Structure 1
């Protein structure tokens, strides 16, 4: 059962993702490279104005909710991404599944700023966390879970060492990475 704050976070993330994906939120930029649009063209003026007012109010409320969650340490914002943890320690497959069910994916840093934001959550819980990175079956190289090659790494000294069947990646509390077996219980941190 999800906590109240987790439910709010999931609803917020789903709304923001939908809003950005559809490019229909006035005053909120769409995804990079996709021109924005208010999505209200063709509506009668009074109806469009009403929708603009409702959307502006919703945007303001979402901003306040996002700020409150950030202030309470429930989420971390980095660029356009939101990172959050449910505080649970589970195996890699379960962590990935819970993030996907919430509308996100396992957090995987693509630069130093994102690595630091994930590390802040790891430190807050004082627990190692899985990253959305796995060793490719065919290539044997570590890749993001979407199959793309890593464009940023922060391996701990002498890692990855690939002892046995270490196909997953965990983050230590100092922000460095270690290859690890996927059946260990680690903190779940999702990216939205």
Structure 2
């Protein structure tokens, strides 16, 4: 329809041009009256597809874009939940020993003047204490000699002293304990002689700290141990009556005796 309208328009235009030219040639005095435009013709028909054209020349390549700048680091995200504890890994192999370090330089010798002064002060004090101890020993020795002259005797590390009183076994034992000693416990002939010297001076028998109160017929020391030394008189102990205590006779021999009897009080100190 468009093609037919176009053809009609073309014929009308051509006719107007033709007749306009003819009239101008015949009479120049005639005026030309312009006609009204005709109606649009119908659309013509589509033409046949033309041949494919040759490819055009290759265009100039476009310039590549420059990469933009790297953006700034964003804020850290929230801490995620704590994961489960993993299994223990296998023990690693023992590493090689490290190289031995170089020994550092020897430091300077310190000042020992302060230590020397302190040591000197200590030695002086020890020397002073030693002098005081020697003086004390001499004083004690002098007083001990005066005490033992009439009332005591020594044997080894033991000292035996008498109060000069005649007491029962229990009374004599209590007096010795109150003084910080005990009834005599002779364990050899030397100690027996020291006790005997006092007994002979007073001409009195002496109670020893040995009894069979714990077990009848078995005489023991106060700590319950059996005797390691004895000096019994002939046929003693005879257990005649209630004889649980032991006395030393003026001969130095031992005899079992009733504990209620009174004998010279002698105490042993060690």
User: Matched residue of 2:214: which SS?
Assistant: coil
TM-score normalised by structure 2 residue count: 0.52
User: Matched residue of 2:128: which SS?
Assistant: helix
> In structure 2, what is the equivalent of residue 56 of structure 1?
134
> In structure 2, what is the equivalent of residue 141 of structure 1?
218
> How many angstroms does 1:161 deviate by?
0.5
Q: Distance in 2 between matches of 1:177 and 1:152?
A: 11
Q: Distance in 2 between matches of 1:51 and 1:87?
A: 37
> How many angstroms does 1:81 deviate by?
0.7
- As a proportion of its length, which structure holds more strand? 1
Q: Distance in 2 between matches of 1:173 and 1:95?
A: 18
> In structure 2, what is the equivalent of residue 85 of structure 1?
162
Q: Distance in 1 between matches of 2:131 and 2:188?
A: 37
Is there any run of 5+ residues in structure 1 with no aligned partner, and where? 1-42
Q: Distance in 2 between matches of 1:66 and 1:172?
A: 26
CA contact (8 A) 2:151 2:164 kept: no
**Mean CA deviation greater in 57-66 or 45-54:** 45-54
> In structure 1, what is the equivalent of residue 184 of structure 2?
107
Q: C-alpha root-mean-square deviation of aligned residues, in Å?
A: 1.7
CA contact (8 A) 2:247 2:254 kept: yes
User: Matched residue of 1:147: which SS?
Assistant: coil
Is there any run of 5+ residues in structure 2 with no aligned partner, and where? 1-120
CA contact (8 A) 2:217 2:239 kept: no
How many pairs are equivalent?
A: 149
> In structure 2, what is the equivalent of residue 167 of structure 1?
244
User: Matched residue of 2:210: which SS?
Assistant: strand
> In structure 1, what is the equivalent of residue 64 of structure 2?
none
Larger radius of gyration: 2
> How many angstroms does 1:156 deviate by?
1.2
Asked whether 1:151 is paired with 2:228, we answer yes
> How many angstroms does 1:150 deviate by?
1.0
